[in-house]
Amino acid sequence: MIWAKTLLWLLCLTPVARLVYKAFTGDLTANPIEFITLETGFWTLTLLMVSLAITPVRRITGYNKIIQFRRPIGLFAFFYATIHLSIYVGLDRFFDFSTIGEDILKRPYITVGFSAFLLLIPLAVTSTKGWIRRLGKRWILLHKLVYLSAALGVLHFYWKKSSKNDLREPLIFAGILAALLLFRVVNAMIKQRQKPPAKERKAAV
């Protein structure tokens, strides 16, 4: 599966390679900072949705090997989120942390976007096999925060795009996230129904 992992890396790095190419060719539009910010935000959400879709695809298709791609895709989502925030901090606000603090406190779309990024940090840090082993079942509970982070990210994107009256992409992301959450809820209900009653479990023991 080395070829598949190589292809995955190439695909995930293509957006940033495209941005670098556009920077060198002077093709970052009349507002390059906003263009890069929107592009990296778009790919953060895209990769988050793809990582969340891995488990439903595995359960529907029965192709269990696909699960090995979930972690690198999730880490690439964090990679683009980090670039997204860095562009805002370094190029948009020139490391003026007092202004950044005011933005976080007073501008709702910045508040939810920053909160979404903070939630991704522990998920990225604990994505290694060592942390999975140390945390055990707590790791599963911790990584459910990815749904909250994705929801905040979609809301952040929605508010950002609403100022331009362009809600098509945010609504698509919202629909995808809603479908993924619905799948999780339905799957949990099915599993619960398949469990034998408590009396039967005791009798079996």
Alpha helices in 25-128 (DSSP H): 32-61, 70-86, 97-106, 108-125
From 111, 99, 91, select the one nearest 31 (Cα to Cα): 91
Digits of tens for pLDDT over the chain (205 positions)?
788 889 999 999 999 999 999 999 989 888 999 999 999 999 999 999 999 999 999 988 989 889 999 999 999 999 999 999 999 999 999 999 999 999 999 999 999 999 999 999 999 999 988 988 888 888 888 888 999 999 999 999 999 888 778 899 999 999 999 999 999 888 888 877 777 665 555 555 4
195-198 long-range Cβ contacts below 8 angstroms, 24+ apart: none
Nearest to 180 by CA among 61, 43, 57: 57
Burial class of residue 150 (count of CB atoms within 10 Å of its CB; 0-12, 13-18, 19+): buried
* R_g over Cα of the chain: 20
- pTM given for the model: 0.90
